Amino acid sequence: MASIFVTSETSKTIEPLVGKRMQPPFTINNQILKLVADISERLGKISVTHSQDIDLRLRRINQVRTIHGTLAIEGNELTEEQVTAILGGKRVLAPVKEVQEAKNAIAVYEQLTNWDPETESNLLGAHKCLMMGMIDSAGQYRNSGVGVMKDGQVIHMAPPADRTPMLMRDLFAWLKASDDHPLIKSCVFHYEFEFIHPFSDGNGRMGRLWQTLILSHWQPLFAVLPVENLIHQHQQEYYQAINQSTIETDSRTFIEFMLRMIKQALFELEQANTNNTPQVSHHVTPQVSLLLSHFYGEMSREQLQSACLLKDRKSFTARYLKPALEAGYIEMTDPSKPKSRSQRYRLTDLGDELKGGHK
């Protein structure tokens, strides 16, 4: 895990501004505005062309990816196959704690439509469901200090426990009163929630859940969008965005990161649904579709990996680059030297045709 939670009552804390002036500190820049516009445009296209076509199979796959992703971020080592089995009521050979975490998460996400994102008691109820049997204080705010430790150093001390109820009331009051765009509101709430760290455990899972809930009340499509799975793939960036926003006392960096994840998740959802329709003659995974969409001329592996917002070279090669090469959608500029540092990749005629058909 990238972070370890420790208790402390005496360490000095930095309190969020939400409790002081009912306005979380965040800056809206041109990049954020562009991402909001891009996401809104893609949502509009999906709503017109695909919203009724997203079949039950794809919804179930995305539910598994969401649950697996949010658990994996916290160190749960269950595979997607094991989560699928648990979702189907089957027994799996795995640590009891990890199986219980999965069962609780499944129960929580299946109740998503029953909760009001602006109601604090619903948050407490969701936490109780998420952490039932895991901690004694499920559904209750923490009564001791908590911090985040990385590499042997405490990098964040949450506000004192006795301030938590007031800070959470203020945060919900802001959420209810704010007229900011739901995409931005959901990101700000997620960050401020992680800063306050209101529970003794389960804060990461709850923060991600509540952002999904806020967004799904605005646009129901978000209920089946596996953003948590993408956050898992970019886990280090996720923590870095939280830490940088804390350092700057401005959640702009975190907002940008989350909006990029949402945009990419929408792209993958659209491609996955398109590839399930009988009109498509070539089966292209969402990962390969994303790779093809970023091609402009001849590009290096590093350029393509960066364009796909991926940090893990091994994962990029196995899930994006290699399948595209094997399917004949892309080719090496110098196939005689596949491991050359100067190696570049370009679209084949088939790849160019597929890219044009998936715009």
d(CA 266, CA 258): 12
Binned at pLDDT 50, 70 and 90, residue 50 comes out as low
d(CA 9, CA 7): 7
The three-class DSSP label of residue 9 is coil
Both 142 and 252 in a single domain? yes
Instruction: Pick from 235-244, 289-298, 329-338, 343-352 the range whose average pLDDT is largest.
Output: 235-244
Tens digit of pLDDT for each residue in 213-235?
999 999 988 988 899 988 998 98
Both 94 and 150 in a single domain? yes
Share above pLDDT 90 across residues of the chain, in percent, rounded to a whole number: 53
Binned at pLDDT 50, 70 and 90, residue 249 comes out as very high
- Structure-token pair, residue 347: 């679209």
Q: What is the DSSP string of 188-219?
A: HHHHHHHHH--SSS-HHHHHHHHHHHHHHHH-
Tens digit of pLDDT for each residue in 111-127?
998 999 999 999 999 99
> Per the domain annotation, does 215 fall within a domain?
yes
Binned at pLDDT 50, 70 and 90, residue 297 comes out as confident
Both 193 and 219 in a single domain? yes
d(CA 197, CA 141): 9
Of 215, 243, 274, which residue constitutes the final position of a domain? 274
Binned at pLDDT 50, 70 and 90, residue 204 comes out as very high
Does the structure show a pLDDT above 90 at 172?
A: yes
At residue 358, the pLDDT reads 47
Average of per-residue pLDDT values in the chain = 85
Of 249, 274, 299, which residue constitutes the final position of a domain? 274
- Structure-token pair, residue 139: 């559904």
**Residue 99 · residue 86 · CB < 8 Å:** yes
Both 249 and 296 in a single domain? no
> Per the domain annotation, does 73 fall within a domain?
yes
Both 95 and 61 in a single domain? yes
Does the structure show a pLDDT above 50 at 278?
A: no
Both 304 and 196 in a single domain? no
> What CATH number should be reported for the domain holding residue 335?
1.10.10.10
At residue 207, the pLDDT reads 97
| Amino acid occupying residue 44 | G
Q: What is the DSSP string of 68-108?
A: HHHHHHTT----HHHHHHHHTT---SS-HHHHHHHHHHHHH
Share above pLDDT 70 across residues of the chain, in percent, rounded to a whole number: 84
- How many domains does the chain divide into? 2
Binned at pLDDT 50, 70 and 90, residue 11 comes out as very low
Both 292 and 270 in a single domain? no
**What does each C-alpha distance from 293 to 49, 199, 330, 344, 352 come to in angstroms?**
19, 41, 12, 16, 9
Q: In the β-sheet with 153-157, what is the strand arrangement from edge to edge? A: 4-6, 147-150, 153-157
Tens digit of pLDDT for each residue in 68-94?
999 999 999 999 889 999 988 899 999
> Per the domain annotation, does 280 fall within a domain?
no
Which of these ranges, 6-10, 100-104, 111-115, 137-141, has the smallest mean pLDDT? Answer: 6-10
> What CATH number should be reported for the domain holding residue 130?
1.10.3290.10
At residue 66, the pLDDT reads 93
d(CA 40, CA 228): 19
Length of the chain: 359
- Structure-token pair, residue 272: 């996955």
For the residues 175-197, what does the mean pLDDT come to? 96
Tens digit of pLDDT for each residue in 331-345?
998 888 888 889 999
**Residue 329 · residue 347 · CB < 8 Å:** yes
At residue 319, the pLDDT reads 87
Binned at pLDDT 50, 70 and 90, residue 53 comes out as low
Both 259 and 316 in a single domain? no
> Per the domain annotation, does 107 fall within a domain?
yes
Residue 292, domain extent: 286-357
> Per the domain annotation, does 334 fall within a domain?
yes
Count Cβ atoms below 10 Å from residue 153 Cβ, excluding itself: 7
Of 244, 274, 304, which residue constitutes the final position of a domain? 274
Both 328 and 209 in a single domain? no
> Per the domain annotation, does 279 fall within a domain?
no
At residue 288, the pLDDT reads 85
Both 258 and 319 in a single domain? no
Which of these ranges, 24-28, 109-113, 158-162, 284-288, has the smallest mean pLDDT? Answer: 284-288
d(CA 328, CA 282): 11
Which of these ranges, 236-245, 268-277, 334-343, has the smallest mean pLDDT? Answer: 268-277
> Per the domain annotation, does 234 fall within a domain?
yes
Both 72 and 218 in a single domain? yes
> Per the domain annotation, does 281 fall within a domain?
no
Does the structure show a pLDDT above 60 at 4?
A: no
Show Cβ contacts of residue 109 under 8 Å, excluding neighbours closer than 6 positions: 63, 66, 67, 209
Which of these ranges, 37-41, 134-138, 355-359, has the smallest mean pLDDT? Answer: 355-359
d(CA 71, CA 138): 17
Both 335 and 237 in a single domain? no
